[in-house]
Amino acid sequence: MDIKGPNLVKGIHMEGLRVLGKPADFAKYYYENGADELMFMDVVASLYERNSLHDIISETAKSIFIPITVGGGLRSISDIKEVLRAGADKVCLNTAVINNPELIREASRMFGSSTIVVAIEAIKESNGQYLAYTDNGREHTGVDVFEWAQKVNDLGAGELVITSVDREGTGEGFDLDLVSRISALVTIPVIAHGGAGNKNHVSEVITKAGADAVAISSLLHYHFIKENSSSVHSNEGNSEFLKQKRSYHTFQDCKIAEVKQCLIDNGIECRI
């Protein structure tokens, strides 16, 4: 769940953010409908160098009894401590650890490896090389994705989220080549993110690319919008899209239960 100010938002290639509704409405709905974990990302936090999700987290943690991961703009041990104290179970780091990889080691020693999730935002260059980006795909780092993934693994992160910025928000399916290379390389669980346009894409990234878990947003958000009326803070951001109650032709939006049934039909064990 990408959060900007008071709103849940969604973009394409992490840009052109559209307002979709209140984060709390989506969180409750997903919790009650079979989500295994919620990830809240403050998508503008890195830009402003602060994470503003504390209120959303502490409110959510009171009534939602599944793991909660929080990311966006977390720069230091004390930033991490603060969101964990607000009720997050895990933190997701990207910009801060690319600038200072030792923070992974320090944070996993202090909070336990399993509390530290590292996100890698990958963009495929025209020469075929994958490079890591930060600040939601805005900032080029020049770091090779696979070298970085190995380092993240060795420094003691507990999980790795691999986002294909090229596929993110498009519904065209995951970058199977990227995910399978990462999954084969590291010894920690890999969460695939970016590209799910239908339930078969989700099943495929597990069976064909070896993902250990899958992060999905648009596919579920667009279904939620069709099924529910949500009160939108229309004073911030573009909400025209929401009012039209439509999604893109590339998405066959569905419920979590439909995704899970598809996984079970394909021999993948999961909670239903």
Q: Helix or strand or coil: residue 93?
A: strand
The set of residues, in sequence order, having a beta carbon less than 8 Å from that of 24 and lying 6+ positions away, is: 56, 59, 60
For other proteins, which stretch binds (CB under 8 A), given 108-116, 169-177, 196-204, 223-231?
108-116
Residue 181, phi then psi, degrees to nearest 5: -65, -40
Name the minimum Å distance from CB 102 to other proteins.
18
Exactly one of 187, 229, 231, 244 binds other proteins (CB under 8 A); that residue is 187
172 is an active site residue: no
Q: Closer CB to other proteins, residue 109 or residue 138?
A: 109
159 is an active site residue: no
Tokens of 208: 């064909």
Exactly one of 147, 212, 227, 236 binds other proteins (CB under 8 A); that residue is 212
Using the CB atoms, write b or e for 34-71: b if 16+ within 10 Å.
bbeebbbbbbbbbeeeebbbbebbeebeeebeeebbbb
- Contact between 207 and other proteins by CB under 8 A: the answer reads no
**Centroid of chain to Cα 51:** 15
- Contact between 112 and other proteins by CB under 8 A: the answer reads yes
For other proteins, which stretch binds (CB under 8 A), given 6-14, 93-101, 182-190, 234-242?
182-190
Q: Closer CB to other proteins, residue 113 or residue 250?
A: 113
Of 42, 1, 47, nearest in space to 23 by CA: 1
Q: What distance in Å separates the CA atoms of residue 169 and residue 163, rounded to the nearest whole number? A: 11
How many CB atoms lie under 10 A from the CB of residue 186? 18
For other proteins, which stretch binds (CB under 8 A), given 5-13, 39-47, 97-105, 112-120?
112-120
Q: Which of 79, 121, 168, 258 is catalytic?
A: 121
- Contact between 87 and other proteins by CB under 8 A: the answer reads yes
Q: Helix or strand or coil: residue 213?
A: strand
Q: Closer CB to other proteins, residue 114 or residue 230?
A: 114
Exactly one of 62, 78, 102, 142 binds other proteins (CB under 8 A); that residue is 62
Exactly one of 25, 59, 82, 89 binds other proteins (CB under 8 A); that residue is 89
Q: What is the DSSP letter of 73?
A: S
Tokens of 173: 């399916």
Cα pseudo-dihedral 71, 77, 79, 81, rounded to 10: 90
Q: Any idea which residues carry the catalytic annotation?
A: 2, 121
Name the residues that contact other proteins, by CB under 8 A: 31, 36, 61-62, 65-67, 84-89, 109, 111-115, 158-159, 187-190, 212-213, 269-271
